[in-house]
Chains A and B, each alone.
Chain A
Amino acid sequence: MSPLEIVILLPLLAALAIWLGAPARATSVGAAVINLLIVLGLVFGFQAASAGKAGFAFESARIVLDNPAITFGVGADGVALILTLLTSLVTLAAVWQIGDDKPGIYHISSLLIAAGALGAFLSTDVFFLYAFHELALIPTFLMIGLYGHGEPEHRKAVAWKTTIYLGAGSLVLLAGLMWLVLEFSGGGKLTFDLQALRAQAALTPLPVEKQAQIFFVLLLGFGTLVSLFPLHSWAAPAYATAPTPVAMLHSGVLKKFGLYGLLRIALPLLPQGAQVAWVQETLLFMLLGNILVIGLVTINQKRLDDVLANSSVMHMGYIFLGLAAGTEIALRGAVLLMFAHGVSIALLFALAGRMRNQLGTLELNKLGGLGEHAPAFTVLFAFGAFASIGLPGLANFAGEVMVFVGSFMNYGSASFGALQWAVVVSLWGVVMSAVYMLRACRNIFHGSAMTGLFMRDPALSQRLPLIMLAAVLLIVGCCPWLLLNLLKSDLAAVVAP
């Protein structure tokens, strides 16, 4: 049994145990801690395990079906491992901060979402990669619909919108994946195995125009799941409404599934499709929509949860930019940014959740001067906010710089093309991030306190998971090679020709 299978199964078993009556908090936190330790072990053992070979490490495969060939296969390369690490970090923080007064379903749902994300990141079979992502759909739906913030009518509407967007997006994705599988099976047995598909893609690449068409279908499917403009409108209300652990896990971790899928499936199998002019220009147009349009929308938000939710949608644009560029530096930057964004947004949502619990409101106009009595809280928030802006020294900066530099590089031609223009325009997004994040910080923590709104620092035990996330931001920001070293050879196959 591969350790990766344990990593996937553990949250599922913990969820089952809680449903059967095990103490919710102890079980879920325990499972999350064990999982994090295993994953850290895997990260340190990765170099040895993957030495000398390009494929996956810690592999195991169980045949589920012969034709179409479906295997429950797990394996990790650097990208998968980084996202697994992200998942286990955010999961621990998310279940840790769930209050004692919350029912067990909070823990069960969080664990199920985590298991879905872990399964999706670690599967080496397209079928299970897709299937595990769907596993998270029901808990997300139930948690937003039942325990979301706001009026019952509002949260139900948001739950439906999210579910229908995600459901329809996954069906489009499924159609694209099936198309891919049928095209790459070369008239023989159908296979969902990623390695076999890659081998086939290397052996007999599809005609460029067909690659472009399939890539576009996959882009629409995965894009909906990552809230790519203009398919994004479910995301901001969902995150603003969702209970804190769900918002942390979904925006921090699960949403990365779409990007991961593009990186894992679409780019390596359809390398030329992504570079066809009409596909690339559409993608650039969409991601600039994320950065500029949603950036402006974010500036206009009046409540902290809306600011965070929209900013999370906006920042997806940078990662898409890295994927669209397709140079090795940009892709590595995109992976780093996926990790950094996940940690920083989870930290911010956790803090916003605390504020909502203690103050009862997140309206920026009504808040102020909180820094006076809650210095630790303020510092933690500043970590998240500055990371989100892209302050050097914090993880997001490293990722963003790599994405920008990697995208700006001219490869092949010496012309100043659409991609370079996109970089120039999207740099303005950084300014917008600074505007809304700094304004939020100023409104909430500085100035004079509003009457009746008063909050203290959380107890140390409550602070621990948040400090952990902030520390990760700082460590990765100062030493990004810790993660980038894991990526050594993985992305070579993905890099645009």
Chain B
Amino acid sequence: MSVFSIEVGLAILGLFLLALEAFMPATTRRALAGISMGGVALAFLLFLWVNKSATQMPEFLQPYQQLDTLAIFYKGFALLITFLVLWLTSQCAGYLTKYTVDGRLSEMFSLPLIVCPGMMWMAGAKDLVTVFVSLELVTVSFYVLVAFTRKSALALEAGVKYLILGALSTGILVYGIAWVYGATGSLTFEGIAKALANPETVKLPVLLGAALLLAGLGFKVAAAPFHMWVPDVYQGAPIPVTTFLSVGSKAAGFVILTRVIDTFSIQGSIIAPEVHGLLLIAGALTVLLGSLPAIFQTSVKRLLAYSSISHAGYLLLALSAHGSTRLDLSSGGVVAFYLATYLPMTVLGFLVLAILRINGGGEDVTDFRGLAKRSPLLALIMTIALASLAGLPLTAGFMGKLFVFLGLVDQAAWGALGCAVIGAAAGFYYYFKTILAMYSSDVSSSSQPIPLNLWTKAGAIVLAVTIVILGVYPRPLQSMLMTAPATVSAGAH
């Protein structure tokens, strides 16, 4: 039994459910949700069990796949977020079916099972072809998921935008890969790193390839100036899909970015200074272009979209601290840590949004008015999530930001630090705006108490407690990520 068999098993289950759904009588379709969630949960447990005994990838896969700390972490991350998304989908089923053409949600339960192995596969990629194939597996499934609620015009718009820009970015990415291959003669990270560390490699073509590659990946993780699609797509897509995009897709993009940056910034790399500068500029710009427009948003869903952009900026700034040895975590480790803190707060934010939708509310800040009266628990939980997104101490969000800021201070990147501080200060405003609305006693569109079933309550409380624990006691998570390697070793096999 290896991690690989879990990935294949999940993909097969996804295909099986896809086929099963077509022949199933309508009455038993509800079972789909159960099967897919059960499948992912089982996969997660198997994954934990497999990792207890340090297993290797099967022999024939070793040239393509590695199982380092980072890979294991992101594989677990992918399983977790897939499970949460499926859970969120089952919570939202009631209102989502109103917008689907046939009143079904079937593929919403099977496609994530295909996205998940794609993300897991990506986490361990050792070469650009594996990266590309798994990235496409994820992106193509997302084309369908984003536009799934086709009766909603916004969803259609989102789907078209995502399709066109996604295809474009894929093209740019392939073009970049081609240039990098042409200039370095290799598609594996190891080979590319070796060529980059060789001073005889011609610089300009590599630089062009690297720039195109980073631009293509920039689209995937919503880095400025390739972030324009995010607000519209996030707003139009169904809430579970938005969550998946915002957490899963972003994490997938960042695991590749981590690998790519580790390769480009290898000791003695001829393009390391340029890549470093690019990351600082792109990161600072992303933080600003994410957080400043967020100030003016009235829709919480769009606000979370912009917030997701600004978080991508902090993550890029974290990557820029490559090679900093003052922290126990490598820059990739800080990114992983940040994403781990980002998961519970974002899922929680979208969960509360979804619950409001289910109970007949809209997605605007004004719809949050009086939430503290309608459901004190939801208001408290959303407060914790928003405080964490804003980066208030004693929540998970602060620990992530602290690492990023420490990295910036350490490399004396004062300009980028200034932008990050401005972004964080703006965050106080736009996240607190929602908090104020929740506790204000103005009449909202509805003042009915919000009923919560046991599972929703339990899930929400677990996520909120996770945020607080990670903020107060981050030690276990850090030590889990501690051995994440800082660089791809150029010489070693």
A182 touches B409 (CB 8 A): yes
Residue in B428, B435, B478 whose CB lies within 8 Å of A164: B428
Q: What's the least CB distance linking A416 to chain B, in Å?
A: 39
Q: What's the least CB distance linking A110 to chain B, in Å?
A: 15
B425 within 8 A of A: yes
B387 touches A138 (CB 8 A): yes
Given contacts A138-B435, A141-B432, A175-B417, contact A131 B394 (CB under 8 A): yes
B424 within 8 A of A: yes
Inter-chain contact total with CB atoms closer than 8 Å: 90
A185 within 8 A of B: yes
A167 to B425, CA, bound (A): 6
Mask: chain A, 150-174; 1 = CB below 8 Å from B; 0 = not: 0000001001100110011001101
Given contacts A142-B435, A160-B429, A174-B405, contact A66 B328 (CB under 8 A): yes
A145 within 8 A of B: yes
Chain B interface residue bracket vs A? 20 to 34
Q: Give 8 nearest A-B pairs by CB, closest first.
A: A131-B393, A167-B428, A67-B328, A134-B393, A168-B425, A178-B409, A171-B421, A131-B394
Mask: chain A, 62-78; 1 = CB below 8 Å from B; 0 = not: 01111110001000000
Binding site for A on B (CB under 8 A): 326-328, 376, 380, 383, 387, 392-394, 398, 402, 405-406, 409-410, 417, 421, 424-425, 428-429, 432, 435-436, 439-441, 472-475, 478-479
A135 touches B393 (CB 8 A): yes
15 A-B residue pairs with Cβ-Cβ distance under 8 Å, sorted by A, are A65-B478, A66-B328, A66-B475, A68-B402, A105-B439, A131-B398, A135-B393, A138-B387, A163-B428, A164-B425, A171-B421, A172-B421, A178-B406, A178-B409, A182-B409
| Most B CB within 10 A of own CB, among A65, A137, A156 | A65
- Chain A residues with CB below 8 A from B436, complex form: 141-142, 145-146, 156, 159
B409 touches A146 (CB 8 A): no
Given contacts A142-B436, A146-B436, A156-B436, contact A68 B406 (CB under 8 A): yes
- Chain A residues with CB below 8 A from B479, complex form: 66
A179 within 8 A of B: yes
A428 within 8 A of B: no
A156 to B474, CA, bound (A): 35
Given contacts A135-B394, A175-B417, contact A64 B473 (CB under 8 A): yes
A130 within 8 A of B: yes
Q: Name the residue on A nearest B474 (C-beta).
A: A65
A137 touches B392 (CB 8 A): yes
A167 to B392, CA, bound (A): 9
- Chain B residues with CB below 8 A from A182, complex form: 326, 406, 409-410
A132 to B471, CA, bound (A): 12
Given contacts A68-B327, A190-B326, A190-B327, contact A138 B392 (CB under 8 A): yes
Binding site for B on A (CB under 8 A): 19, 63-68, 72, 105, 127, 130-132, 134-135, 137-138, 141-142, 145-146, 156, 159-160, 163-164, 167-168, 171-172, 174-175, 178-179, 181-182, 185, 190
Given contacts A138-B387, A141-B432, contact A72 B439 (CB under 8 A): no
- Taking A66-B478, A66-B479, A156-B436 as given, write out 17 further A-B residue pairs in contact, using a Cβ cutoff of 8 Å, ordered by the A residue number: A19-B376, A64-B475, A66-B328, A68-B406, A127-B393, A127-B402, A132-B394, A134-B394, A145-B436, A164-B429, A172-B421, A174-B405, A175-B417, A179-B409, A182-B326, A185-B326, A190-B406
Q: What's the least CB distance linking A406 to chain B, in Å?
A: 34
A142 to B387, CA, bound (A): 13
Q: Name the residue on B nearest A72 (C-beta).
A: B472
A19 touches B380 (CB 8 A): yes
Q: What's the least CB distance linking A63 to chain B, in Å?
A: 7
A130 touches B393 (CB 8 A): yes
B474 touches A64 (CB 8 A): yes
| Most A CB within 10 A of own CB, among B405, B424, B425, B474 | B425
- Chain A residues with CB below 8 A from B326, complex form: 182, 185, 190
Q: What's the least CB distance linking B435 to chain A, in Å?
A: 7
Q: What's the least CB distance linking B428 to chain A, in Å?
A: 4
A163 to B436, CA, bound (A): 12
- Chain B residues with CB below 8 A from A65, complex form: 474-475, 478
Residue in A64, A146, A163, A181 whose CB lies within 8 Å of B440: A146
A103 to B387, CA, bound (A): 23
A138 touches B405 (CB 8 A): no
A14 to B387, CA, bound (A): 21
Q: Name the residue on A nearest B477 (C-beta).
A: A65
- Chain A residues with CB below 8 A from B429, complex form: 160, 163-164
